[in-house]
Structure 1
Amino acid sequence: MTMNNGQAHLAGRDRSDRASLDRAISRAKWRILPFLILMYLLAYLDRVNIGFAKQSYQATTGVTEAAFAFGAGVFFLTYALFELPSNLMLHKVGARRWLARIMVTWGIISGLMMFAYNDTTFSLIRVVLGAAEAGLFPGAILYLTLWFPKEVRGKILAIFYFGSPLALIFGGPISGLFLDMDGLFGLHGWQLMFLIEGGITVLVGIWAYFYLTDTPAEAKWMPADERQALTAALAAEQSEKAHSGEIDFARAVRNPRLFYFAAIYFLIQITGLGVAFYLPTQVAALLGVKVGLLVGCISAIPWICALIAGFFYPDWAVRSGRRQICLLFSLAAIALGLVASAHASPALAIAALCFVTMGIMTAQPIFWTFPTQYLGGAAAAGGFAVINSLGALGGFVAPNVRTGAITWSGIEAYGLYAIAAAAFLAFVLVLFIKRVSDSQPLSATISSVRT
């Protein structure tokens, strides 16, 4: 059976549009992703660099263990509180202006950590820092949905998440190097670390204002045919979300499905930040040395493994249609790896921690493919902020739960058990995530699970 001239023309047009779309995605990936990774790298480093400074900072200032745990975690309370208004503002004024504002503000405040000499100033600056940084991560997730169709979003999100292991691969040794430079210019090593890393963030924020483009339609650096193909593909996806997903924030926030997603992300964040905060001190204890350049380099090994896993595993999970089972494997690796690391020899404990970080690195981008497929428009702006806000509370819970478990039991391993328990609870919730992410009401989903 042969095509007539009209059918052949349409087929050729489709192939041409597909080729233009593929080129547009590739061009956007190479221009946008490296910059967003740099932004996320700095954000993640800003969250966890206090973990590298912990020993020397407390030795210099006398900040107690309980005050440190509270100060490290209270950042996430104000971060969570300001996530929603920040992301709604980004949706209103555009990513370029708002992401630049976030970075400049938090970079300045992060630099002020060099003056945090007691419990009160430490907690106060962490409170303000959380408010300043709020909105960067969900804003970046929203920004990616405005540029990349769902067919490639799993891979794009996985690459974006490279920022967190890169922060710990390179940030660990760099932070350790600053700590070893104690006394330079009359400053403590931890002061140099906060000052320099905060200054770099301010400079990148200024750069972001001039570099980013809000939407494909405004991308003068992209040929017209590619702009049109990408804009059309994203518009079709938005229409699909309006039909079978959710684009109205008021309706989305009344749907328990949104909070089911948030509960899973909350538990994942407990594990991720619970490990990131304390990995340097755990490695130092395994090696019997203080935190410095050596510990920073050894601590980078698990994150290098995470980077390798993140390169292919989330993309394969999406393309194979096995997102749920792959997410379950990631969460199981976190829970089992944490328990194993509490009882193994130093070499085996480091190996177990490699599986933990690989689980953390792959679980998060796979998870985000579920809400990004369901939410669009204002619902995406607000919904992603709600999920990330409640997830950010995991950053407050993690250090306090871990410290509380150790204080209660008197056994260091119980702190790791507490973090592993969060991964296990996330595993249980993910068993039902595909049913919950269906378009049926959540009450019907729960009834079907019971029967």
Structure 2
Amino acid sequence: MNRASIEISLEKQTIRRITWRIVPFIMLLYFIAYIDRVNMGFASLTMNKDLGLTASMMGFGAGIFFWGYFLFEVPSNIMLHKVGARVWIARVMITWGIVSACMAFVESPSSFYILRFLLGASEAGFFPGIILYLSYWFPARHCAGVVALFMAAAPISTALGSPISAGLLEFDGVMGLHGWQWLFILESLPAVLLGIVVFFYMTDRPVQATWLKNDERAWLVAEMNQEAASKNTGSPHNFLRGLFDPRVLALSLVYFGTSAGLYTLGIWAPQIINQLGVSSMQIGFLNAIPPSVSVIAMILWSRHSDFTGERIWHVIIACLFAAAGLVLAGNTEGMIGLIAALTVVNIGISCAKPPLWSLPTTFLSGAAAASGIAIINSIGNLGGLAGPMMIGWIKSSTGSYKGGLYFVAGLLVVSALTTFWLSRKDTRWH
């Protein structure tokens, strides 16, 4: 076997080993994170009446999560870069688990808003921290596929979590608590427990990976060092560069639209399906169908992106597909048509994100990557405020979800156009 063949074999062996060690675990973490972000969509089926929450109040409460997220995102990611993922991700998860459990004891719209803000502040840094963590372990050519596996946890959590959340609502009256209170309490416990596991299981950097063979560790350390050195040779990699790079701001705008779409689904899909006049358990199972299909589409789409090395059109086509699905959802009333439209939206949103998250680490590394990824996620996730909040406001004003769905579709079109413009400005993405 010649030297090139040995190198290829070692790469495959190493990537396979770190994938099995890291990816299933971080998928589990994101699975829990996403449930705790959007489980209020199911809680609201009964909580709104108990607390006197209108559609606009619910939309504002769903969105204010992202103000806390926005304010603490960059500091959190900088801390992760300094102290290591093991310590910081553990801290993040334990904190958000405690705050999420406290959601069971809200008594008014004001306490609801405060705890949603604190939940966002507590969880700030988790998602971009994991994206940054993956950039320490996987060469850029493997990124989209790995990120897709990680992000598949979001639709999987909806698919599996929807029936679970619906089932927990049936605990109404047990030990004098409402069903939505049990939902928040029981779904917050895994975050605290897994936060403890993180501290003992995660490895911060490849050089510390005693679970890799010596030749595997040596190859990975050399590969990641070489890749870091090749990114904008001669340019500083401090955190200010990540904050002010115009490409970072453009990607933030792209992510804004995709986040609006994602959290429109997470927060409002149960309410939209509820218009069909079905039970909570039926809503749970119907809401599980679209994300189940989107998981398969996301993995295949991302593998194609990695195989071809193309990112831009994989983002653009997916964003436009999701926008079309939202327009269809606004003009469909029957059960089959509505679930089909929501499936289209799920596929588009899910497929856009992995190739999008492969772009920042092509031009950022070190502290600049930490701050840049955090900026993209924090500004972009304000779409999670704009989308759900506008849908709630428009629903309260018009009695229909149609206008709000059109609004989010428009944001996704802007994301597609921004991605195209960005590709004209950076030749490496052509």
Q: Specify whether residues 261 and 245 from structure 1 end up closer, same or farther in structure 2 by C-alpha distance, changes over 3 A only.
A: farther
- Give 2:77's aligned residue: 87
Contact 2:209 2:217 in 1 (8 A): yes
Q: Specify whether residues 298 and 410 from structure 1 end up closer, same or farther in structure 2 by C-alpha distance, changes over 3 A only.
A: closer
Alignment of 1:72-151 (within 5 A): 72-151=62-141
Out of 323, 338, 341, which is 2:326 matched to? 338
- Give 1:448's aligned residue: none
TM-score (norm 2): 0.96
Out of 332, 348, 353, which is 1:364 matched to? 353
Q: Distance in 2 between matches of 1:135 and 1:252?
A: 15
Contact 1:103 1:204 in 2 (8 A): yes
The Cα shift of 1:405 comes to 2.8
- The answer to whether structure 1 residue 169 and structure 2 residue 153 are counterparts is no
Q: Any gaps of 5 or more consecutive residues in structure 2?
A: none
- The answer to whether structure 1 residue 46 and structure 2 residue 26 are counterparts is no
- Give 1:250's aligned residue: 240
The Cα shift of 1:14 comes to 3.8
Q: Distance in 2 between matches of 1:59 and 1:409?
A: 20
Q: Distance in 1 between matches of 2:136 and 2:196?
A: 22
The Cα shift of 1:20 comes to 2.0
Out of 403, 412, 419, which is 2:408 matched to? 419
- Give 1:278's aligned residue: 268
Identity rate, percent: 38
| Farther off after superposition, 82-91 or 52-61 | 52-61
Out of 378, 386, 400, which is 1:389 matched to? 378
Q: Distance in 2 between matches of 1:426 and 1:411?
A: 25
| Farther off after superposition, 158-167 or 399-408 | 399-408
SS at match of 2:233: helix
Contact 1:216 1:227 in 2 (8 A): yes
- The answer to whether structure 1 residue 300 and structure 2 residue 276 are counterparts is no
Residue-by-residue CA offset, 1:260-280 (whole Å, 9 max, x unaligned): 111111111111111221111
SS at match of 1:431: helix
The Cα shift of 1:439 comes to 7.4
Amino acid at match of 1:348: G
Contact 2:305 2:311 in 1 (8 A): yes
Out of 192, 210, 214, which is 2:182 matched to? 192
- Give 2:206's aligned residue: 216
Q: Distance in 2 between matches of 1:129 and 1:276?
A: 16
Amino acid at match of 2:7: D
Contact 2:141 2:309 in 1 (8 A): no
Contact 1:314 1:362 in 2 (8 A): yes
Contact 2:364 2:372 in 1 (8 A): yes
- Give 1:405's aligned residue: 394
- Give 1:352's aligned residue: 341
Out of 198, 216, 233, which is 1:226 matched to? 216
Q: Specify whether residues 33 and 45 from structure 1 end up closer, same or farther in structure 2 by C-alpha distance, changes over 3 A only.
A: same
Q: Specify whether residues 77 and 142 from structure 1 end up closer, same or farther in structure 2 by C-alpha distance, changes over 3 A only.
A: same
Amino acid at match of 1:397: A
Amino acid at match of 1:353: L
Contact 2:270 2:283 in 1 (8 A): yes
- Give 1:435's aligned residue: 424
The Cα shift of 1:17 comes to 3.2
Q: Distance in 1 between matches of 2:246 and 2:397?
A: 35
Q: Distance in 2 between matches of 1:378 and 1:389?
A: 16
The Cα shift of 1:330 comes to 0.8
How many residues were matched structurally? 429
Residue-by-residue CA offset, 1:314-334 (whole Å, 9 max, x unaligned): 120232233222222211111
TM-score (norm 1): 0.92
Q: Distance in 2 between matches of 1:258 and 1:95?
A: 22
Residue-by-residue CA offset, 1:213-232 (whole Å, 9 max, x unaligned): 00111111111110001111
Amino acid at match of 1:431: F
Q: Distance in 1 between matches of 2:265 and 2:349?
A: 9
Amino acid at match of 1:85: P
| Farther off after superposition, 373-382 or 402-411 | 402-411
RMSD across aligned positions (CA): 1.8
Residue-by-residue CA offset, 1:61-98 (whole Å, 9 max, x unaligned): 22333322211111110111100000000000000000
The Cα shift of 1:253 comes to 2.3
Q: Any gaps of 5 or more consecutive residues in structure 1?
A: 1-10, 446-451
Amino acid at match of 1:218: Q
The Cα shift of 1:289 comes to 2.2
- Give 1:8's aligned residue: none
- The answer to whether structure 1 residue 202 and structure 2 residue 179 are counterparts is no
Q: Distance in 2 between matches of 1:120 and 1:407?
A: 19
Residue-by-residue CA offset, 1:106-141 (whole Å, 9 max, x unaligned): 001100111011111111111111111000000000
Amino acid at match of 1:196: L
SS at match of 1:75: helix
- Give 2:369's aligned residue: 380
- The answer to whether structure 1 residue 288 and structure 2 residue 268 are counterparts is no
- Give 2:58's aligned residue: 68
Q: Distance in 1 between matches of 2:283 and 2:398?
A: 27
Q: Distance in 1 between matches of 2:383 and 2:248?
A: 17
Contact 2:155 2:292 in 1 (8 A): yes
Q: Specify whether residues 63 and 71 from structure 1 end up closer, same or farther in structure 2 by C-alpha distance, changes over 3 A only.
A: same
Q: Specify whether residues 242 and 430 from structure 1 end up closer, same or farther in structure 2 by C-alpha distance, changes over 3 A only.
A: closer
- Give 2:317's aligned residue: 329
- The answer to whether structure 1 residue 260 and structure 2 residue 250 are counterparts is yes
The Cα shift of 1:311 comes to 1.6
Q: Specify whether residues 244 and 395 from structure 1 end up closer, same or farther in structure 2 by C-alpha distance, changes over 3 A only.
A: farther
The Cα shift of 1:41 comes to 0.9
